[in-house]
Amino acid sequence: MEMTIAIVEDEQHCTDRIMAFLKPYSDRVRVICFNSLDSALEGLESERPEILFLDVMIGEKTGFDLLSKIANPDFCLIFTTSYEQYALDAFKLSAIDYLLKPIDRIDFDKAITKAFEKIDHKQLKERVGVLMNHLSHIHTSKKISIPSKEGYVFLTIQDILRCEADVNYTHVITVNAKKYTVSKTLKYFEALLKDFGFFRIHNSHLINLKCVNGYSKSGYVTLMNGLVLEISVRRKDAFVHAIGAYMVG
């Protein structure tokens, strides 16, 4: 069954690059291209593509301007962006795929294969909202999108108590004792949450420093729910420094 893929991009060389990467899939896809938001809005409503490659910046506007005008987005969304690394965690926190320009062939094939295997448009508007919230400089509560069997759960980051490793899975536990199991490693969450006051005290535990109620010099930390966790010897000094800096901050 033929699948429709739309590209919204105002730089022709970027469109050409995506088109070239799509050639091996030409027997299963139909590609439509738009170089402005106005043409894209009209075209997306009539063509209803399954997959959309959307540039973050289009002229003086953004891809978010386009998405805000689409009542019921029912496509798999892959952003193409020139954002530097500091902003890319925002895409990860929102569970929205992105390709960093200039687009790499290997990264493209991974993204398109994932899209083919699972056309993921569940709760797209909510995930875009999380993304825009992280990209803005307005001080609001930041959230993270957690994949679930039903779709996505949107958690306020500071409502996360801790994350616990379980081989290649991670259990995300909230302050109200809810647990969500995600097929990501603890290392993934450590990289994602370290700038939000989280510290990895052990190979198996990443904790929210805001939720620390006590620390014992013998190497144990007590969380606000009364749970006592061991701090690994090699992380103890770094933890003392981190909790001290957090309390001062």
Superfamily of domain 3-135: Response regulator (3.40.50.2300)
CA 224 to chain centre: 28
pLDDT given at position 227: 96
Parallel, antiparallel, or unpaired for β 57-58 and 220-223? unpaired
pLDDT at 150: 75
CB 53 within 8 A of CB 78: yes
pTM across the whole model? 0.76
pLDDT at 205: 98
What is the rounded CA–CA span in Å between residue 125 and residue 96?
Answer: 11
**What's residue 85's pLDDT?**
60
pLDDT at 151: 82
* Cα angle value 49/79/9 (rounded, 5°): 75
Cα–chain-centroid distance for residue 143? 10
Cα–Cα dist 50/154, whole Å: 24
Q: How far apart are CA 217 and CA 98, in angstroms?
A: 44
- Each domain of the chain, given as residue ranges in start order, spans 3-135, 158-248
In tens digits, the chain (249 residues) has pLDDT values of 689 999 999 999 999 999 999 999 999 999 999 999 999 999 998 899 999 999 988 888 888 899 889 888 888 899 998 877 656 778 887 878 899 999 999 999 999 998 887 666 667 888 888 888 888 766 668 999 988 877 889 999 999 999 999 999 999 999 999 999 999 999 999 999 998 999 999 999 999 999 999 999 899 999 999 999 999 999 999 999 998 877 655
Query: What pLDDT does 121 receive?
Result: 65
Report the pLDDT value the prediction gives residue 7, as an integer from 0 to 100: 97
Long-range CB pairs of 147-155, under 8 A, 24+ apart, other chains included: 147/95, 147/182, 147/183, 148/180, 151/122, 151/123, 152/95, 152/122, 152/123, 152/126, 152/127, 153/180, 154/126, 154/130, 155/180
pLDDT of residue 231: 96
pLDDT given for residue 138 in this prediction: 61
Looking at domain 158-248, its CATH class is mainly beta
Amino acid at position 63, single letter? G
